[in-house]
Amino acid sequence: MRILLTLLVKEFKQIFRNKVMIPIIFVVPVVQMILLTYAASLEMKGIKMVVVDQDLSQASRLLVSGFSASPFFEIVHSTTSYPEAESRLTGDRADVILHIEHQFEKRLYAEQETDLQLVVNAINTTEAGLINAYCTQIVGEFNTQIRSEWFSLDASLRMSSLDLKPSFWYNPLLDYKIYMFSGILVILVTLIGMLLTALNLVREKEMGTTEQINVTPIRKYQFIMAKLIPFWVIALFELAFGLLVGRLLYDLPMVGSLGLLFLFACVYIVVVLGIGLFLSTISNTQQQLMFVAFFFMITFILMSGVFTPTDSMPQWAQKINLLNPAAYFMRVIRMILLKGSEFRDISREFFSLLVYAVLILILAVTNYRKTT
Amino acid sequence: MTGTLEHIIEVRDMVKKFGSFVANDRLTFHVEKGEIFGFLGANGAGKTTAMRILCGLSYPSSGEIMVAGHNVYHEREKIKRKIGYMSQKFSLYDDLTVSENIRLYAGIYGLGRKEINTREAQLLERLGLTHIKNRLIREIPLGWKQKLAFSVAIFHKPAIVFLDEPTGGVDPITRRQFWEMIHDATLEGITVFVTTHYMDEAEYCDRVSIMVEGRIEALDTPAGLKQSYESRNMNEVFLKLART
């Protein structure tokens, strides 16, 4: 125990003597939390639309006004020539073309139906999907309005139309910032914890001081614990700091128990740091380590469900995700913060990670070689 | 210093292979308690490899090896309690102070706080480093670092201290002082196992072995070696051996 204490004193002194450490702990997270939360938005504003109105009727104007009134759309150009609009789309100066053909109003009135063309730039599929959804909504509103104005006599028709009023649980205003922020917090804790721990051990290997340590009677578990504990404390602090920033900047809801969140984080961070230490036992230089660690980290983060729900991944990907600690924490942090989940709701994730933590630590300790 | 004294290191037919390359070819020798044993050889002769095995940092391929009464195959951790080691690469922490380095290694060997305090003060006094005890290692000159590294390696009073080219890159005056420190250590009963390729330093050793291409070609007192190779100094002995 005294030996471990001696080593911990050494590690803490070295960490805080390192001049880049304080910025990494304080500045990087704040920048990341502010920048990424806004940048990683799934909400779209200012979609550039070109209107090709070849009808120039009352009905077509009403439809176009629906788009211009929407905060999501910005009508960048109006024309009567379709080829001109298309050249804007191909020239990347527009995201979507709304094409209203000649006799739009007339046909709508006479035949009660007509065609409307929407051309969407679908290079970014998520974006295209969203544009389509927004457009459908506006056209739907136009439809209801036309019906009630033109055919208002037929009251029964109005009555029978379905009026869907969704109620969004756990995030009533669909504030993407709250959703993204909790995810980014997970990425942050993972990134800082795993990288700092792994780099620290490999750096000692590079400097040759591990050789001096290996020739002493220090036990392997003591050495590994001394490398783990400081960064475990730092990562937990980072989580607390991040939650505070979230509270202040985004009014991040904290419906569930923070104690439960930290209990879970305690185990999660051991897993992440354990993986970092394991990677550092198989790398000899910081460069090697960075390559390996980046591979793991990017895979973990992209598959964690930060952007896309893990449930919609293919079955095999979901199986792989059982080994992805970030996927567990991503789910649990949102469950606790937004939904107020209790221990019994997250117990499966909790115990899975606990087993994971024990296994990865055993792996890291046994794989650390005092003798080669 | 020869004869019936206790063998603190006993090596018989030690072999270390890296693939098909034989770094140590059936080394057989012993080191007596309390002596300064010089382990000489050109670069790449296999000195460091052999030393790493004796310290428990590397596995031998075969051979019988006992260090401080323990077997290197099964009792490496017991050996590590009884030895000190100063590596070729720099072994103190650059970003810790002189005092912190001393206290770290003392703590690792489980010395008590009181004992550490008194012995640290004595050591700093003897080295004349008291005024810079709170300076970072990276800020002090190489010569001081080497002397400090040696003192740290024997701070826990080991039975044997292994020094791997301890005086590399150090000026002649500091080298001389360094060897005085080595001599002082033997007066405290510490056996010294030292590798070097400075032949003048070999003269300070009680016995010297000379390695050539993984084998021990000669082993005797410096005076004995000079006599059998009809040389005036160790440098000539070495050149004669290395050329044959």
Residue A172 scores a pLDDT above 90 = no
* Å between B205 CA and nearest CA of chain A: 24
Produce one character per residue of B161-178: b if its CB has 16 or more CB atoms within 10 Å, e if not: bbbbbbbeebeeebbebb
pLDDT tens-place string over residues A49-93:
999 999 999 889 999 998 998 888 899 999 999 999 999 998 888
Q: Which pLDDT score is estimated for A43?
A: 66
CATH class of the domain whose range is A47-160 = alpha beta
pLDDT at position B183, please?
94
* pTM listed for this prediction: 0.81
CA A364 to chain B, closest CA, distance in angstroms equals 19
What mean pLDDT is predicted for residues A95-119? 87
The residue that leads in pLDDT, A353 or A103, is A353
A370 to B56: CB separation less than 8 angstroms, yes or no: yes
Give contacts of B57 with chain A, Cβ < 8 Å: 211, 214-215, 370-372
The span from the CA of A183 to the CA of B26, in Å, is 61
pLDDT at A275: 95
Q: pLDDT of A306-331, one tens digit each?
A: 877 888 888 998 899 999 999 999 99
In sequence order, the 6+-apart residues with CB closer than 8 A to the CB of A27 are none
- The answer to whether the Cβ–Cβ distance between B96 and A14 falls below 8 Å is yes
- Do A215 and B80 count as a contact with CB atoms less than 8 A apart? yes
Tally of CB atoms within 10 A around B187 = 8
Give the integer Cα–Cα distance in Å for A155 and A148: 8
Enumerate domains of chain B plus CATH numbers: 7-243 (3.40.50.300)
Coil, strand or helix: which one is B164?
A: strand
Q: Select from A217, A269, A213 the least CA-distant residue to A240.
A: A269
> What tokens does B92 get?
């103190």
Contact residues on chain B for A370, CB-CB shorter than 8 A = 56-57, 76
- pLDDT per residue, tens digit, chain B (244 aa), is 344 458 999 999 999 999 889 888 999 999 999 999 999 988 888 888 999 999 999 999 999 999 999 999 999 889 999 999 998 777 899 899 999 999 999 999 988 889 999 999 999 999 999 999 999 999 998 888 989 999 999 999 999 999 998 888 888 898 899 999 999 999 999 999 999 888 888 889 999 999 888 888 889 999 998 898 888 888 888 888 877 6
CB contact under 8 A, A14 and B93: yes
ipTM of the complex: 0.85
Q: How far is CA B210 from CA A59, A282, B181, B232, B244, in A?
A: 103, 36, 23, 17, 13
pLDDT at A128 over 90: no
Residue B159: predicted pLDDT:
94
Residue pair B92/B145 in contact by the 8 Å Cβ criterion: yes
**A3, B105 contact by CB (below 8 A):** no
Domain ranges of chain A: 2-40+173-367, 47-160
Q: Span A336-357, mean pLDDT?
A: 93
A183 pLDDT higher than 70: yes
Cβ–Cβ of B91/A208 closer than 8 Å? yes
Please report the DSSP string for B178-213 in residue order.
HHHHHHHHHHTT-EEEEEE--HHHHTTSSEEEEEET
